[in-house]
A and B are shown apart, each in its own frame.
Chain A
Amino acid sequence: MNAYLPGIATVALMYGALGLSLNLQVGRTGIINFGHIAFFGVGVYTTALLSLHGIPLWLSVPAAAVVGGLCALPLGWAAARLTSHYLAIVTIGFAEALRVILLNLEVTGGPSGLVGVPRPLGDAPLETYSMVWLFVAAGLLALTYGLVRLFTRGLLGLSLTGIHDDEPAAAMLGRSVAAYKTLVLAWGSMLAALTGAFYVHWIGYASTEQFDPRVTFYLWAGIVVGGASNAGAWLGSAAIAGLFEATRFLGDFGFTALSETQLASVRWIVIGLVLILTMRLRPQGLLPVRTRLSRAGASRSTAPTARERESADA
């Protein structure tokens, strides 16, 4: 088990970072993004391509983040013009289209992906390698947390909360909703691409299987269960990813009642049930956002629902 644990934890922490950047859009601003994992994929392929062409790490990783942020601009443009569920469908379409293109282009290696991406410390013994990378992943999570906090502090953060709670009111108070949404999508996507860049240098190859559009729903399940606070988002995403990563090795420990493909199906059924049951039993998640209002004891749980119901009916 000692050989597996650091690997599982590394993946979990990276998913935690992805959950944080998705939550910036979903939990803080109320942008329904079902295509977040695509930007992780942009990071994976950008840094893989760059480093395979001899670009050093210190340049390829930030470049991937920048490219990820830029790729989100068209979505931001769409986000400014579409209401939530239309945008949701566009984002999942974006993720699927990107996957299909990367899967079939010659530059990106087609279905076989890109192998031989440099792995820093790849020559070190496995124990050292996995322990160092565990700390790198923890650092990445901390960095993502810091960059999300940086973004949501002060007036900008208040404006985002305003857009989340009541978009017309925020617009009326002079907030350019379109600009803020674009900014949030670009920032969150940049962070997702950054995670992708780290991931590919850890695992050593790039393949479109790493970011099947459905993987975004791992993160959604994490945020839904964890709650829309930063802590809820990363803990939830990391817990789900860690749990699922761990079940991949059940076979190695003598659990053979289900084959690997059957286990994969069971994982997805669990994700589906988690989404449905959380919505039923605790729609705000385990660690919901604490606002000044909710801390003062005012009941927030009923008020927004009534308002959203109205807007849903309209």
Chain B
Amino acid sequence: MIQAVVNGTADGMLIGLMALGISLVYAVQKFPNVSQGALVTAGAYLTYLGQELTHRWYLAVALGLVLSVALGMAAYQVVIRPFVTAPLMTLMIVTIGLEFVLDYTIALGWGNSLRTYDFGLTGQTTVGGVYLTHAAVVTSAVALLAMAGTAVVLTRSRLGRDMRALSDDPALAQVARVSRQRTLLFTWGLVGLLAGLAGLFFGVKAQLTPTLGWHLLLPSFAAAILGGLGSFTGAILGGVLMGVGMEVFSLLLPTVYKPAVAFVVLTALLLARPRGLFGKAVRV
């Protein structure tokens, strides 16, 4: 049981990282970004590409993350930007389209065979009878750091101030000379970075497939909603709760039912508490 909670926490941190990206876009643009899945997949494969090219883990990580940021910004600049004022549904359909284009471009480029990279994080430590894999420890630490970093950016930087302004009241923000295009561009860069981190650590933990991000989408949305869409602490906490929940459930049910569990939790939550556990009251 304790082992399940520990395993779930590490998995949940990954889900939380992904949910954090979803929450960021939702906060600023008010739509659920489906292409987050593909950005995570791309993060994993770009790190893999870095590993193939440089054979050094630190260079691979650096290259993977830089390319992930670039991808996030390019996604905004090329695909999202013309739709900034479009209705929510249009943006949702467009990001679904983007998800397919990216996922299957990856599938076309790297094929469907399983890929792995080894950063030497394979060991494990026993603490009080509970196994802790080093990968899980590092993943959790980085996820927490990423959350802290995002919080600092949001509260201390000019970009963060502009993002919060756009989130609160886009019209008023523009009156106050907040550049929407510029802020959104950097938001997507940040989202790319978070997705890159999530993808990177997914690759440390498991094998890469072109659909890895797609399969993480549902639990991540559940986590983002659980935490309250637009709430950043909530996203990570929601991710951990989802991870632990799914892991504990799989003690009772076969593991294969994990997505079904995610769905049930998601639906129950939406119906019982649509603003999430930490969501703020919504202006109607």
> A279 and B259 in contact (CB under 8 A), knowing A93-B218, A269-B105?
no
Question: Closest approach, in angstroms, between the C-beta of A310 and any C-beta of chain B?
Answer: 10
CB atoms of A100 and B260 under 8 A apart: yes
A92 contacts which chain B residues (CB < 8 A)?
218
> A275 and B93 in contact (CB under 8 A), knowing A262-B108, A312-B31?
yes
Complex-state Cα separation, A100 to B259, whole angstroms = 7
CB within 8 Å: A-B pair count: 136
- Asked whether any CB of chain A lies closer than 8 Å to the CB of B2, the reply is no
- Asked whether any CB of chain A lies closer than 8 Å to the CB of B149, the reply is no
Binds B, one of A81-89, A152-160, A198-206: A81-89
- Asked whether any CB of chain A lies closer than 8 Å to the CB of B94, the reply is yes
Binds A, one of B47-55, B64-72, B262-270: B262-270
Q: Interface range on chain B: under 10, 10 to 19, 20 to 34, or 35 or more?
A: 35 or more
- Asked whether any CB of chain B lies closer than 8 Å to the CB of A265, the reply is yes
Residues 71-102 (chain B) with a chain A CB within 8 angstroms:
79, 82-83, 85-90, 92-94, 96-102
Complex-state Cα separation, A285 to B79, whole angstroms = 19
The interface of chain A, by Cβ under 8 A from chain B, is: 32, 78, 81-82, 84-86, 88-90, 92-94, 96-97, 100-101, 103-104, 214, 217, 220, 224, 261-262, 264-266, 268-269, 271-276, 279-280, 283, 305, 308-309, 312-314
B177 contacts which chain A residues (CB < 8 A)?
none
Give the interface centre of A217, A272, A308 by most chain B CB atoms within 10 Å: A272
CB atoms of A82 and B108 under 8 A apart: no
Complex-state Cα separation, A96 to B221, whole angstroms = 14
Q: Is the interface of B mostly helix, strand, loop or mixed?
A: helix
> A273 and B101 in contact (CB under 8 A), knowing A85-B32, A88-B92?
yes
- Of all A-B residue pairs in the complex, the 10 with the closest CB atoms, nearest first, are A275-B97, A272-B100, A272-B101, A93-B263, A308-B87, A97-B263, A268-B104, A97-B260, A276-B97, A265-B104
CB atoms of B270 and A309 under 8 A apart: no
A266 contacts which chain B residues (CB < 8 A)?
104, 108
- 19 A–B contacts from the bound complex (CB under 8 Å): A78-B267, A82-B270, A90-B267, A93-B263, A97-B264, A100-B260, A103-B256, A261-B112, A264-B104, A265-B108, A268-B104, A268-B107, A269-B104, A275-B97, A279-B90, A305-B86, A309-B86, A309-B87, A313-B170
Residues 126-181 (chain B) with a chain A CB within 8 angstroms:
170
CB atoms of B105 and A275 under 8 A apart: no
CB atoms of A279 and B271 under 8 A apart: no
CB atoms of A269 and B256 under 8 A apart: no
B115 contacts which chain A residues (CB < 8 A)?
none
> A104 and B254 in contact (CB under 8 A), knowing A93-B218, A96-B259, A272-B98?
yes
Contact of B88 among A85, A94, A268 (CB under 8 A): A85
Contact of B256 among A84, A96, A104, A261 (CB under 8 A): A104
CB atoms of A101 and B260 under 8 A apart: yes
13 more contacts with CB within 8 A, not counting A94-B267, A224-B93, A309-B87, are: A96-B259, A97-B259, A104-B256, A261-B112, A265-B104, A266-B108, A268-B103, A268-B107, A269-B104, A279-B90, A279-B97, A283-B90, A309-B85
